[in-house]
């Protein structure tokens, strides 16, 4: 190992006669210092960065080269970071799964509540996506394909600014909207449940739109240009060129939006707290009783302790399924290659 | 030359105007929402800034706001080093394999997990271990854990988005992977990274769910001062009977303004980024 | 005709696979020191793979497999324990259509010396000045070294990338298609620079253009579908090609 380095070094010294000038000598000197004592050489790669290598050369070879028992390079530190992240995230998953398995084994679950909550969650989220997705698609097409630059920019900025609106605020708006005409006692939970998807749509519309705009911008301009060059009208270009290329993005947005709308807590929770009368037994109020609401309410009031984890596991599984389905449509194949 | 029939022109105009109408309507609803909050909340907010407390509820708003800002910054600072290390490792060092793809998918899945899961973590795992009274610490930890996968995937995506020629040319000059990442890729992606961190902070500062769960760990402390702005709004909404009061609008306005400011900074950063390196991006696109 | 003193790079039974696809098949080739060798062949013949495998840049692909040896001054660069960054410093690669980093002109050229540990400002100044002079760019940019490199014209950008590669004092310079996407004036300028450089460096050029190969190279290696078909002094290959495929390629007949 050391010998072969010296061979490289020696051969370079032999061949370096054609490299002239003091500068070159300095560069070579610096390299030689690094070779001689790779760990402590001053002025040359003080933190051992350029000893890092890649590809076929693994940690073992580098260990052998530095004559140190514990070589701690950048790669190892980054590896530790990744391992720590995975450990923390793994702990989160294990915590939920363990709790859920424990509850399932204890056999005193009210499974009806869980099933109802899951169904409510799915229904409300699907409603939100059905409302928001077409509007977002239209907006995204308007921004990228149709609008003059100034209105497009105005809408784009609005959408971007509103894409992280806190959901409690939307909950407040929903409350105000529903109680604007009649007192809250007159509002049935069914009505509130019908309003929930609209409110959630308000939350996911900006996200959908910015996601779809980013996706449509990825479509190369040459694709559109060649469509126009073949004599297609603007509508034909949208219908036959832009839309097919955007289809995967629309599907991905739909799945991501489902996950997002299902996971949203505060909007439905605020409505549930306001309109259910706080009575879990009431049949009708269960329309608003989504998984996150159920988790928050059960935790808050100390009911059905065991069901919390099962519902959390359920929402985790739903979220994972939706995000992996969404990711399948936005898969990138490029990875640091030429 | 065939002239287009009147009918088709009319149909085109109808479709176009309906698209314009829908878009402006949707964006208009969002703007109306902010306008309504400003209309109802500006007075109370100005008063609370002037006198320190809300006139009718007696609760102070600014300390809660500061605590929220502190939580956002602290959670981001706590999560960022680890997340960036993870992102750099997965993007620049790890070999492309099925395992690597699986790990990336898992981290991305956890990044998209509903925040209530992280609240549950605080409620069921952190609270019993760290003990009562450490609500602030537990909320901070839960938020940092929530941010961790988000910032990891965002670092990964930002590095993957850097034109491949920079990585190639830097390595060809004999730079190590770390030097390439630190001196070329991250400087190139820094505005995207900063924008995404701001976005993550906005998410942490605006989400009530984790705090709702963590506060639920101690039912006795229901009356204690809540930790963050969204939780304050939630608990005062739930606690009050009857229609929403003016201080709710004041709180909501402050909350939405904070979120909009953070997002605005993020948008501005991204815009400058696009102008700066658009030429490289265009060239890359042309080459593929 | 440059006298052959030594072989700088020797490929022994070099094969490169991308997954299941074999890009190079048992190449045995010796690159003479202090001369310009042109690697010619149609697209997909393996020119770029050959150049990349000479400085271990192929390893950026995860599914790539390299077999055989590449000897740099008699030392196999693929043997375990060899520092990849050192190989890449000694064997510089200017990839097809290189692009300056989004930094200033000075920082672009100084990037290589900096990652190899040179910190002193006056040393960097010297290196930058000399490299830019060698690349024939000094007179055009000497007043605006702190300007963004992205403000240069495409031809100047290509020259800047040559200067950037020269700044780390490589012994061998691999240039992949120096004429790619450039106008004829810039190409002529770069060819002048290449003619200058081959006095000091061992050059390997991959090119599609027979005219360019004839103008700047001393030796020609003709690749076809991953196989080395012919290698010899440029004048010999042009005058008396031994293989029919070479002849067809040179005269512009393609099957």
Chain B contacts in chain A segment 208-237 (CB below 8 A): 220, 222, 235
Share of chain C above pLDDT 70, in %: 97
Interface B-C: count of C-beta contacts within 8 A: 79
Write down the pLDDT at residue C129.
94
Distance to chain C for A160, nearest Cα, Å:
27
Residue C239 buriedness (CB in 10 A; 0-12 / 13-18 / 19+) = exposed
Query: What's the pLDDT at A72?
Result: 64
Average pLDDT by consecutive 10-residue portion of chain B (288 residues)? 71 88 92 92 83 62 88 94 94 85 91 92 84 79 94 91 86 89 90 91 91 76 64 82 72 93 89 50 38
- Residue A142 in contact with partner chain B when CB distance is under 8 A: yes
pLDDT at C113 (0 to 100): 92
Cβ–Cβ contacts within 10 Å for residue B8, how many? Answer: 11
What is the CATH T-level fold of the domain C7-96+172-251, as seen in this structure? Answer: Rossmann fold (3.40.50)
CA distance C137 to A325: 52
- The CA distance from C170 to the nearest CA of chain A, in Å, is 10
Q: Tell me what pLDDT residue B4 has.
A: 64
CB atoms within 10 A of CB C232: 16
Q: Does B190 touch chain A (CB under 8 A)?
A: no
Residue B226: how many other CB atoms lie within 10 Å: 23
Spatial neighbors of C176 by CB under 8 A, at least 6 apart, are C47, C48, C51, C93, C94, C95, C96, C206
Examine residue B251 and state whether it is found in any structural domain, yes or no. Answer: yes
Predicted confidence (pLDDT) at residue C109 exceeds the cutoff of 90: yes
A227, A241 contact by CB (below 8 A): yes
Q: Do C115 and B276 touch (CB under 8 A)?
A: no
Q: What is the mean pLDDT of each run of 10 residues along chain A (338 residues)?
A: 37 34 43 34 29 33 38 82 94 92 79 85 94 93 85 89 91 86 68 87 92 83 80 82 83 92 89 72 69 85 75 93 87 39
Q: Cα separation of B92 and B186, whole Å?
A: 11
The 10s digit of each residue's pLDDT in A28-61 is: 444 443 333 333 233 233 222 222 233 333 333 3
The domain that holds B258 is classified in CATH as: 1.10.3720.10
Subunits with at least 3 CB pairs below 8 A relative to chain A? Answer: B, C
Distance from C-alpha of A59 to C-alpha of A51, rounded to nearest angstrom: 11
Neighbours of C, requiring at least 3 CB pairs below 8 Å, are A, B
From the number of C-beta atoms within 10 Å of its C-beta (0-12, 13-18, 19+), residue A302 rates as exposed
Spell out which residues of chain A touch residue B206, defining contact as CB-CB under 8 Å: 164-169
Tokens linked to A129: 């996506």
Length of chain C equals 255
Is residue B257 situated within a structural domain? Answer: yes
C74 and A7 within 8 Å at the Cβ level: the answer is yes
Q: What burial class does residue B82 get, using C-beta atoms within 10 Å of its C-beta: 0-12 exposed, 13-18 middle, 19+ buried?
A: buried
Are the CB atoms for C78 and C247 separated by under 8 Å?
no
Judge contact between A314 and A118, C-beta under 8 A. yes
Question: Which ranges constitute the DSSP H helices of A179-284?
Answer: 189-218, 221-229, 234-237, 243-263, 266-275
The reply to whether residue B149 touches residue A176, judged by beta carbons under 8 angstroms, is no
- In this predicted model, what pLDDT tens digit does every residue of A166-196 receive, in sequence order? 999 999 998 888 887 776 666 676 777 788 9
| Ordered alpha helix ranges (H), chain B | 6-51, 62-88, 98-111, 115-121, 127-130, 135-161, 164-172, 177-180, 186-206, 209-215, 229-239, 246-287
pLDDT at B36: 93
Kindly state the tokens that stand for B236: 């005062």
pLDDT digits (tens, 9 = 90+) for C81-95: 888 888 999 999 998
Contact A146, B16 (CB under 8 A): yes
Dihedral sign from CA coordinates of B91, B97, B103, B105:
positive
Structural domain boundaries, residue B126: 61-276
Q: Is the CB of C59 less than 8 angstroms away from the CB of A54? A: yes
Sign of the CA dihedral running C127, C128, C130, C135: positive
Decide if domain A110-329 falls under CATH 1.10.3720.10.
yes
Query: Which residues on A lie below 8 Å from C83 (Cβ)?
Result: 5, 50-51, 53, 57, 65
Q: How many domains does chain B have?
A: 1
Q: What is the pLDDT of residue B193?
A: 92
* Contacts (Cβ under 8 Å, ≥6 apart) of B20: A142, A146, A147
C-beta separation of A114 from A308 below 8 A: no
Task: Give the sign of the dihedral formed by CA C24, CA C29, CA C34, CA C38.
Answer: negative
Report the residue from A78, A142, A315 with minimal CB separation from B114.
Answer: A315
Using CB atoms, which chains have 3+ pairs under 8 A with B?
A, C
Q: In what order do the strands lie in the sheet with C172-176?
A: C91-94, C172-176, C202-207, C36-40, C219-224, C227-233
Rounded distance, CA C255 to CA C169, Å? 42
Please, how many CA atoms are within 13 Å of residue B272, restricted to the half-sphere of its CB? 12
Residues in Cβ contact with B121 at an 8 Å cutoff, skipping those fewer than 6 apart:
A92, A95, A96, B142, B145
Q: Where are the domains of chain A?
A: 2-72, 75-107, 110-329
Q: Which of residues 215-254 of B touch A (CB under 8 A)?
A: 216-217, 219, 230, 233-234, 237-238, 242-244, 248-249, 252
Enumerate residues 11 to 70 of chain A having a beta carbon within 8 A of any beta carbon in chain C. 11-12, 14-15, 18-19, 21, 23-24, 26-28, 30-31, 34, 43-45, 49-57, 61, 64-65
Chain A's closest residue to C80, CA to CA, is A57
Instruction: State the best of C59, C169, C197, C203 to mutate against chain A, taking most chain A CBs within 10 Å.
Output: C169
Q: What is the pLDDT of residue A284?
A: 56
Alpha carbons B222 and B96: distance in angstroms, whole number: 50
Q: Best of A15, A28, A52, A333 to disrupt the C interface by mutation (most C CBs within 10 Å)?
A: A15
Which pLDDT score, from 0 to 100, does residue B69 have?
93
C194 closest CA partner among C234, C244, C230, C158:
C158
Q: What is the ipTM of this complex?
A: 0.86
Q: Which residue of C has its CA nearest to A63?
A: C81
Q: Give the Cβ contact number of residue B123 at 10 Å.
A: 26
> How many residues make up chain B in this entry?
288
CB of C86 within 8 Å of a chain A CB? The answer is yes
Q: Does C78 touch chain A (CB under 8 A)?
A: yes
Q: Which residues of C touch B175 (CB under 8 A)?
A: 85, 111-112, 115
Picking from C51, C59, C99, C114 by the largest number of B CB atoms within 10 A of its own CB, the best residue to mutate is C99
Backbone φ and ψ of A70, nearest 5°? -110, 100
Please check whether residue C118 touches A, CB under 8 A.
yes
Contact A144, A216 (CB under 8 A): yes
Give the C-alpha separation, C91 to B129, whole Å: 58
CB pairs under 8 A between A and B: 279
The pLDDT assigned to A190 comes to 73
Which CA distances in Å does A257 have to A158, A201, B159, B216?
Answer: 19, 9, 25, 28
Tell me if C165 and B173 make a contact (CB, 8 A cut-off). yes
**pLDDT > 70? residue C112:** yes
Model confidence pLDDT, tens digit, residues C174-233: 999 888 888 899 999 999 999 999 888 999 999 888 888 889 999 999 998 889 999 999
Question: Measured between alpha carbons, how far is residue C49 from residues B174, C27, C52, C61 in Å?
Answer: 18, 12, 5, 11
């Amino acid at each position: 190992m050391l010998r072969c380095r010296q061979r490289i070094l020696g051969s370079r010294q032999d061949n370096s006669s054609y490299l002239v000038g003091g500068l070159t000598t300095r560069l070579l000197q610096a390299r030689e210092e690094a070779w001689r004592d790779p760990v402590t050489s001053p002025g040359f790669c003080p933190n051992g960065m350029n000893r890092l290598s890649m590809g076929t050369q693994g940690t073992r070879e580098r260990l052998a080269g530095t004559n140190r028992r514990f070589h701690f390079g950048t790669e190892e530190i980054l590896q530790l970071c990744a391992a720590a992240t995975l450990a923390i995230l793994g702990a989160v998953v294990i915590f939920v799964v363990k709790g859920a398995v424990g509850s399932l084994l204890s056999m005193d679950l009210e499974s009806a509540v869980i099933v109802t909550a899951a169904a409510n969650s799915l229904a409300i989220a699907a409603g939100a996506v059905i409302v928001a997705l077409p509007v977002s698609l239209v907006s995204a097409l308007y921004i990228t394909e149709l609008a003059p630059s100034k209105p497009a920019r105005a809408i784009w900025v609005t959408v971007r600014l509103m894409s992280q609106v806190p959901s409690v605020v939307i909950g407040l708006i929903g409350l105000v909207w529903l109680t604007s005409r009649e007192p809250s006692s007159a509002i049935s939970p069914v009505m509130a449940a019908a309003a929930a998807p609209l409110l959630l749509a308000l939350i996911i519309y900006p996200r959908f739109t910015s996601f779809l705009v980013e996706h449509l911008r990825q479509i190369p301009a040459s694709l559109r240009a060649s469509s126009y060059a073949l004599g297609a009208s603007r509508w034909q270009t949208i219908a036959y060129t832009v839309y097919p290329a955007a289809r995967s993005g629309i599907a991905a947005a739909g799945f991501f939006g489902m996950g997002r709308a299902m996971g949203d807590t505060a909007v439905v929770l605020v409505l549930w707290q306001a309109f259910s009368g706080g009575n879990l037994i009431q049949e009708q109020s269960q329309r608003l009783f989504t998984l996150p609401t159920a988790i928050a309410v059960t935790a808050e009031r100390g009911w059905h302790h065991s069901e919390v984890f099962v519902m959390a596991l359920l929402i985790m599984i739903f979220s994972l399924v939706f995000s992996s389905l969404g990711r399948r449509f936005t898969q990138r194949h490029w990875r640091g290659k030429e | 030359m065939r002239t287009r029939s009147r009918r088709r022109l009319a149909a085109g105009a109808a479709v176009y105007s309906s698209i314009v109408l829908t878009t402006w309507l949707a964006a208009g609803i969002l703007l109306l929402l902010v306008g309504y909050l400003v209309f109802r909340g500006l007075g109370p907010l100005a008063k609370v800034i002037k006198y320190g407390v809300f006139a009718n509820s007696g609760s102070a708003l600014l300390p809660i706001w500061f605590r929220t800002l502190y939580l956002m910054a602290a959670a981001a600072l706590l999560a960022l080093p680890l997340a960036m290390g993870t992102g750099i490792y997965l993007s620049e060092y790890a070999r492309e394999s099925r395992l690597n793809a699986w790990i990336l998918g898992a981290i991305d899945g956890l990044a998209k997990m509903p925040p209530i899961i992280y609240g549950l973590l605080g409620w069921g795992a952190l609270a019993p271990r760290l003990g009562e009274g450490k609500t602030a610490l537990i909320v901070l930890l839960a938020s940092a854990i929530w941010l961790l996968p988000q910032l990891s995937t965002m670092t990964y995506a930002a590095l993957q988005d850097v034109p491949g020629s920079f990585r190639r040319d830097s390595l060809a000059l004999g730079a190590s992977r770390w030097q390439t990442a630190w001196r070329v890729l991250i400087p190139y992606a820094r505005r995207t990274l900063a924008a995404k961190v701001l976005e993550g902070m906005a998410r942490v500062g605006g989400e009530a769910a984790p705090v709702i769960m963590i506060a639920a760990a101690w039912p006795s402390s229901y009356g204690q001062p809540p930790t963050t702005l969204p939780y304050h709004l939630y608990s005062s909404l739930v606690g009050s009977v009857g229609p929403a009061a003016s201080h709710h609008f004041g709180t909501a306005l402050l909350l939405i303004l904070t979120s909009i400011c953070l997002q605005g900074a993020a948008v501005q950063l991204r815009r400058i980024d696009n102008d700066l390196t658009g030429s490289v991006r265009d060239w890359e696109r042309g080459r593929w | 005709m440059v006298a052959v003193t030594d072989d700088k790079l020797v490929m022994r039974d070099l094969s490169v696979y991308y997954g299941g696809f074999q890009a190079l098949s048992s190449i045995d080739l010796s690159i003479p020191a202090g001369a310009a060798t042109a690697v010619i062949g149609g697209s997909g013949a393996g020119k770029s793979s050959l150049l990349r495998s000479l400085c271990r840049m192929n390893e950026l692909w995860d599914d790539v497999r390299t077999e055989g040896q590449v000897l740099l001054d008699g030392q196999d660069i693929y043997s375990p324990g060899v520092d990849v960054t050192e190989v890449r410093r000694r064997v510089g690669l200017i990839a097809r259509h290189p692009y300056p980093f989004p930094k200033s002109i000075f920082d672009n050229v100084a990037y290589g010396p900096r990652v190899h540990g040179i910190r002193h400002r006056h040393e960097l100044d010297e290196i930058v000045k000399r490299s830019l002079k060698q690349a024939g760019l000094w007179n055009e940019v000497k007043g605006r070294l702190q300007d963004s490199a992205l403000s240069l014209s495409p031809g100047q950008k290509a020259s800047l990338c040559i200067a950037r590669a020269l700044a780390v004092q490589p012994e061998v310079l691999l240039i992949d298609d120096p004429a790619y996407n450039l106008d004829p004036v810039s190409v002529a300028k770069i060819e002048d620079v290449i003619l200058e450089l081959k006095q000091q460096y061992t050059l390997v050029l991959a090119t599609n253009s027979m005219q360019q190969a004839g103008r700047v190279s001393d030796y020609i290696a003709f690749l076809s579908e991953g196989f080395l078909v012919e290698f010899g002094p440029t004048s010999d290959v042009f005058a008396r090609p031994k293989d029919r495929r070479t002849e067809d390629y040179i005269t512009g007949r393609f099957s």
